[in-house]
A and B are shown apart, each in its own frame.
Chain A
Amino acid sequence: QSVLTQPPSVSAAPGQRVTISCSGSSSNIGNNYVSWYQQLPGTAPKLLIYDNNKRPSGIPDRFSGSKSGTSATLGITGLQTGDEAAYYCGAWDSTLSVAVFGGGTKLTVL
């Protein structure tokens, strides 16, 4: 069981917008920065968002991140079939002294 909680799956049509939630506690999301990763099938995860809402170089602005209290949200606009992947949130847990991840959310673009 993951420390951070994500929905197992979400789906939306091409061109639409989708959000993926990540719920934690004050020991992780509530007081630390959140990151998001995209894992295309059969590949390694790739950093998508860091510091709650910043995008590394090369990540399109269709991807956005936000945080409120002990929850974080990844938003993807203008969905493309190439966005079909698993998405993971991550953070440092100050109580456990461990880097923690969500269980992952599989995005299906219908």
Chain B
Amino acid sequence: QPQLQESGPGLVKPSETLSLSCTVSGDSITTTRSFWGWIRQPPGKGLEWLGTIYYSGITDYNSALKSRVTISRDTSKNQFSLMLTSVTAADTAVYYCARLTSEVTNWGPARYYFNFWGPGTLVTVSS
């Protein structure tokens, strides 16, 4: 099974950009039909899906974040990354990366679940 590890600054100033990376071992982010995502959890609260990058490089985002999110990848490092712009205190959360299963079609029930998770990294937005 894959191992995932988040990394990046633990403190970001308001209005700046949050940048995190997820390093994957034991699997390749380009493995056919593999999907890799970011989820966050504010302190004491529930989970929020941020977005997914497909094995092909296609990305899919949570529209609720209003285009502040960008997910990219570096296949040479087997890493994928998250950028969240114009952060506020509401973006303070533990950020998780995960490998997921995604089967969303127009003709059958959708499968969308997160098989393996990184340990998470706390990002605090504060001046």
Chain A residues packing against B (C-beta within 8 Å): 2, 31-33, 35, 37, 43-47, 50-51, 56, 88, 90-92, 94, 96-104
**How large, as a class, is the contact surface on chain B?**
20 to 34
Check A101 against B117 for contact (C-beta < 8 Å).
no
Is the CB of B27 closer than 8 A to any CB of chain A? no
A43 with B46: in contact, given A33-B111, A91-B112, A92-B112 (CB under 8 Å)? no
Return the contact of A104 from the options B46, B104, B113 (Cβ within 8 A).
B46
Return the contact of A101 from the options B49, B116, B118 (Cβ within 8 A).
B49
Check A56 against B115 for contact (C-beta < 8 Å).
yes
A35 with B113: in contact, given A45-B96, A98-B64 (CB under 8 Å)? yes
Nearest-CB distance from B90 to chain A (Å)? 14
Q: Given the complex of chains A and B, what is the CA–CA distance between A24 and B65 in angstroms?
A: 22
A99 with B111: in contact, given A50-B101, A92-B104 (CB under 8 Å)? no
Q: What are the 3 tightest A-B residue pairs by CB atom distance, in nearest-first order?
A: A35-B113, A92-B112, A92-B110
Return the contact of B109 from the options A33, A35, A46 (Cβ within 8 A).
A33
Check A97 against B63 for contact (C-beta < 8 Å).
yes
Known: A50-B115, A94-B104. 5 other contacts (CB 8 A): A44-B117, A44-B120, A90-B47, A90-B113, A103-B45
Check B112 against A44 for contact (C-beta < 8 Å).
no
Is the CB of B16 closer than 8 A to any CB of chain A? no
Is the CB of B114 closer than 8 A to any CB of chain A? yes
Check B49 against A100 for contact (C-beta < 8 Å).
yes
A101 with B47: in contact, given A44-B119, A46-B117, A56-B115 (CB under 8 Å)? yes
Which residues of the other chain, B, contact A32 by a CB distance below 8 angstroms? 109-112
Check A35 against B114 for contact (C-beta < 8 Å).
yes
Is the CB of B74 closer than 8 A to any CB of chain A? no
Check A33 against B113 for contact (C-beta < 8 Å).
yes
Which residues of the other chain, A, contact B120 by a CB distance below 8 angstroms? 44
Q: Which residue of A lies closest to B47 (CB)?
A: A101
